[in-house]
Structure formats: C-alpha cells, structure tokens
C-alpha cells in the first residue's frame, strides 16, 4: 500500500513520525514531535539500517513490506542501540528469524543485555565493508556521538552517510522528508536544540568523528531523526563543526529566576542596556517558564550569558540550580558571563553563580550586582553598567 520513499533506486526511507510523545527521552519537550528514521537497501541482499521506537513498529513493518514484499531481510545494521532506534530489534528478529544483526564490539553486549540476543550477529570493525551486491556498506566507529557503541555506515555506491543521531533534529517529517522539500530555517533551531541537549556534551568526540569522515564524498546524510540532507550537506556539517567547537555568535542569553519580580527587574534593566548598546540578539528566558533545553540551545548559539537568581534557602533558586548544573555537567565552553542576584537577609546567589562561572571557565564580565530587597537606583545603575560591559566585551570580538 505505501508508496516507497526513494533516496535512490534501491535505497528507501521507512521511518515513522511521533506526534504523541510529549517529552523525548522523557525530558525534552517536543512540541513539533520527532521522526524515527530507518532505511532499507534492497539489493541482492537486503539491509535495514537502524530501526524505530517500538510504539510504531506495526506501521514500520508495513512500510518495509511495501518495498521488499516477502523477501527476507539479510542484515539489520545497528548504528546506535538507544531504544528510539533499537527498540524494535527483537520484533524484527522474530519477523525475520534469519536476519543477521550487524554491530561493533560495543553493540553486541548491549544486544545481549537488552534483548538476550547473542546469535546471528556480525561484528564489524572500523573500516570493514559489507557487500550487498551493487552496494557496499562501510563502517566507521564514532564512539560517544552519542553512546559508546555509536557508529555510522557509509554506502559508497550512492555516497549516502547513514549517520545515526549525528545531524539529527527534533520535528516530525511533515510530508517533506528531504531538505530540498521545505525551508531549511524550519529545522535549524530544532536541530541546534537537538544537538546541544542530546549530543552537546560530546564536542570532542564529534570533532573526532568529523575528522574521520572528512574525506568521504557525501551526496546524502540520512540521520536517525529529522530530514534527509542532500541540499544543505555543507551547511549541516559546518554547524556541527561550529557547535562542537563551542563557537558562538554575538548575542546575549539572559536567563533569570524570579519569584516576586525583583530579580526579573534587574535582568530586564541589563537586557535593555544591551539593546541600547547595539546588541541585536537578546534572548530573555524566565527559567521557571522556558524549558532548559531552549535556554541551552540559545546558549550554544550566543556568546554572552547573563544569569540572575534570588537567594533561596541559602542556595540558588531551584530552577536556576537545575539549569546551571546542566551547563556544568555538559561542560559548555567559551562564554562571557554577567551575574545578578537578589536577597532579603543574607545573599548567596551571586557567590554561587560566580563559582559556577569559574567552574565553567567562562569569562566573568563587569561587576556582578546583588541587591537587597527591592531594586533601588544605585543597583539599577549597576545593572546598566553591567549591560554596557557585556555589550563592550562582545563588540571587542567584532574586530
Ligand atoms: C522560599 C524562599 C526562600 C528564601 N531564602 C532566602 C535566603 O536564604 N536568603 C535570603 O537572603 N533571602 C531569601 N529569600 C528572599 C529572596 O531572596 C528575596 O525576597 C528576593 O528579593 C526575591 O527575589 P525575586 O523577587 O526575584 O523572587 C527567600 C525567599 C523565599 C520565597
């Protein structure tokens, strides 16, 4: 029944859309859903590249059947074991008992651990090839882009890189599956939010992977999430290069916590002064309203960060605590930091934010401002000064 979606004459898209899940990994809001991508290569041998989250396995199997009919599947290549791709492995094996599951030495223990599968597996090593007939699969290990077993598969006849989670994006594929069937901008921010939150901790493994793949001629990047890239290949590789090196643009993310509005007032004073000083990209987030994934995504884009928090039981506001511990855990690098705090009897927020900035090795800009009780004119002026200092620091990089 399904009209095949062709990457080339023998290579097909068989992924599914998920518009029901609210939180990807039960953490990240996905208002625009997510796609779990999988691919079939129908040659003398049939290979399936990755599978899909188990909830949609029935639809997935129908799509596979629509392409190969009653032919058996010879190989299931498991580039990544995470259950949003590996979740259907057991069912696929039951449907296709002869199938050989292809992975590397880190994949196979996971197969056994998750599914008790230890037979009919094929262990490949870096640079190994698997011939399907006209098509040849070449395997490259890219550990920690996103799990230790992650690998990518390059089909050398059609020059397609099956890239696992790399170059993936949140967002379902709404009719359009290839990047020349929609406007790139529609996915760019969600791609960065996906990268920064899911893969962002692993900048150095991403750099190693990019180096390893640099000499491949790539006509298509077929990731496990989001669009298939065939028009914007250079662009998405450049984005990955930039993000994994923590390269940022001129702009400021102002992230504040505030229960009763005092800290918010300080944050807004700084934001206004940034604009007065010619900073065009200012993103203000209330950490109790914006999910951390959006703030982190913006922080991966813009170099300046203002963190503002009231003191709360001698600590940071809990939502600021959550955001900053995520930033520390991810080791986000190369930012300028301005700090604001508010308190009523003994302030701790500025001290704590300063310690976090030092831990992250971010450059602390200007004089941090901490106000007791309501915002008064001298501290208001200090907020303006901090805004000017941040703008000046960013503008120094224009040269
Ligand atoms: C639950 C709670 C705990 C607080 N803990 C402290 C504290 O440990 N030290 C302090 O100086 N002020 C504390 N405060 C006072 C706030 O830091 C102060 O009112 C601040 O101005 C609030 O900023 P906001 O208006 O941006 O929420 C606390 C306030 C609340 C509601």
Question: Which tokens is 345 given?
Answer: 């009897």
Q: How far apart are CA 85 and CA 277, in angstroms?
A: 47
Cα(257) to centroid(ligand 1), Å: 11
- The pLDDT of residue 50: 98
How confident is the model over 285-306, as pLDDT tens digits?
999 999 999 999 999 999 999 9
How many residues can be counted in the chain? 399
* CB neighbourhood size of 380 (10 A): 15
Atom 28 in ligand 1: which residue has the minimum CA distance?
312
Residue 352: how many CA atoms within 13 Å on its side-chain side? 24
Please name which of 374, 347, 338 lies closest in space to residue 265, comparing C-alpha atoms: 374
* CATH of region 253-393: 3.40.50.360
Pocket test for ligand 1, best of 255, 256, 257, 259 (most atoms within 8 A of CB): 259
* CB neighbourhood size of 181 (10 A): 14
What number is the ipTM of this complex?
Answer: 0.99
Q: Percent of the chain, pLDDT > 90? A: 98
- Please give all residues whose beta carbon lies within 6 A of any atom in ligand 1, as ranges: 258-264, 310-314, 342-347
How confident is the model over 4-63, as pLDDT tens digits?
999 999 999 999 999 999 999 999 999 999 999 999 999 999 999 999 999 999 999 999
The CATH class of 5-244 is alpha beta
How confident is the model over 115-171, as pLDDT tens digits?
999 999 999 999 999 999 999 999 999 999 989 999 999 999 999 999 999 999 999
- The residue to which tokens 């020349």 are assigned: 180
Atom 30 in ligand 1: which residue has the minimum CA distance?
312
* CB neighbourhood size of 351 (10 A): 15
Question: Which tokens is 80 given?
Answer: 């990544």
How confident is the model over 204-216, as pLDDT tens digits?
999 999 999 999 9
Cα(108) to centroid(ligand 1), Å: 52
Q: How far apart are CA 223 and CA 311, in angstroms?
A: 44
Phi, psi of 29 (to 5 degrees): -65, 135
Please state the domain extents for the chain.
5-244, 253-393
């Amino acid at each position: 029944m399904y009209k095949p979606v062709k990457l080339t004459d023998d290579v097909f898209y068989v992924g599914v859309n998920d518009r029901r899940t609210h939180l990807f990994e039960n953490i990240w809001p996905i208002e625009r859903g997510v796609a779990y991508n999988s691919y079939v290569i129908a040659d003398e041998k049939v290979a399936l590249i990755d599978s899909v989250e188990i909830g949609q396995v029935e639809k997935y199997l129908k799509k596979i059947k629509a392409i190969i009919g009653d032919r058996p599947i010879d190989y299931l290549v498991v580039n990544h074991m995470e259950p949003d791709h590996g979740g259907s492995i057991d069912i696929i094996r039951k449907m296709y008992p002869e199938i050989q599951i292809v992975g590397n030495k880190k994949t196979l223990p996971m197969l056994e651990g998750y599914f008790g599968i230890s037979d009919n597996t094929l262990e490949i090593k870096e640079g190994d090839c698997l011939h399907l007939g006209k098509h040849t699969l070449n395997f490259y290990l890219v550990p920690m882009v996103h799990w230790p077993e992650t690998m990518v598969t390059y089909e050398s006849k059609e020059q397609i890189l099956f890239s696992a989670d790399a170059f993936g994006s949140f967002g379902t594929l709404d009719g359009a599956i290839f990047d020349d069937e929609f406007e790139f901008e529609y996915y760019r921010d969600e791609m960065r939010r996906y990268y920064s939150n899911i893969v962002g901790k692993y900048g150095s493994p991403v750099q190693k992977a990019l180096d390893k793949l640099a000499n491949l001629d790539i006509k298509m990047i077929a990731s496990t999430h989001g669009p298939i890239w065939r028009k914007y290949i250079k662009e998405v590789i450049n984005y990955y290069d930039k993000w994994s090196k923590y390269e940022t643009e001129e702009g400021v993310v102002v992230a504040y916590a505030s229960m009763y509005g005092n800290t918010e007032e300080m944050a807004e004073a700084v934001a206004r002064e940034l604009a007065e000083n010619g900073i065009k990209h200012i993103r203000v987030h209330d950490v109790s309203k914006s999910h951390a994934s959006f703030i982190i995504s913006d922080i991966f884009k813009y170099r300046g960060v203002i963190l503002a928090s009231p003191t709360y039981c001698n600590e940071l506001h809990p939502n600021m605590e959550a955001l900053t511990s995520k930033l520390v855990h991810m080791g986000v690098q190369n930012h300028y930091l301005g700090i604001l705090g508010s308190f009523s009897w003994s302030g701790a927020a500025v001290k704590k934010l300063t310690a976090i900035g030092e831990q992250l090795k971010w450059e602390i800009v200007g004089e941090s401002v901490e106000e007791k009780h309501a915002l008064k004119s001298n501290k208001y002026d200090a907020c303006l000064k901090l805004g000017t200092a941040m703008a000046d620091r960013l503008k120094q990089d224009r040269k």
